[in-house]
Structure 1
């Protein structure tokens, strides 16, 4: 049993899924292995609605996995997103998930 932020997680997998679970979090995180501007991320994640992308980015930031940097020195406003040190610990897991998807698509001829 794990207790984080007054929430109980019955196993390590449920704790992991708290951070990367859902339809889009892992997708967003793998795109953020390299620092990206919001517009780049939006372009790379076309199938995610703008509202959903914004909400997921806020959750990832609240969870400490990404940093949002706003550049206000000149118009137009620019916003960057990048993984935190904590977020970078997920890179091997995200790459393994992506590789599994590639191999599964080949096996199933998708």
Structure 2
């Protein structure tokens, strides 16, 4: 009795005995921690700014108070974006700071 020939291994299938070499470098623990911290800081501060905008929209004291609270929300949003850059040890003076004004701009749309 003869042994049947082994078919050639298909290139698109995984071979546990011969894994492909890794092409991407893995992130270090401190890099992952930095990304997690910056995402948490920016989203938390962004939610606070959005809450200030919602409070400004439903405020019954007059347009001046609403605009004032909306301006505070804009400042808080800009500080949140700057915090994300500072966690990554980058300069906080960047065009991305305009993104922090987005909740305040939406609030002004509903107030005025």
TM value normalised by structure 1: 0.27
TM-score, structure 2 normalization? 0.27
Name the one with the larger strand percent.
1
More helix, by proportion: 2
Bigger Rg, structure 1 or 2: 2
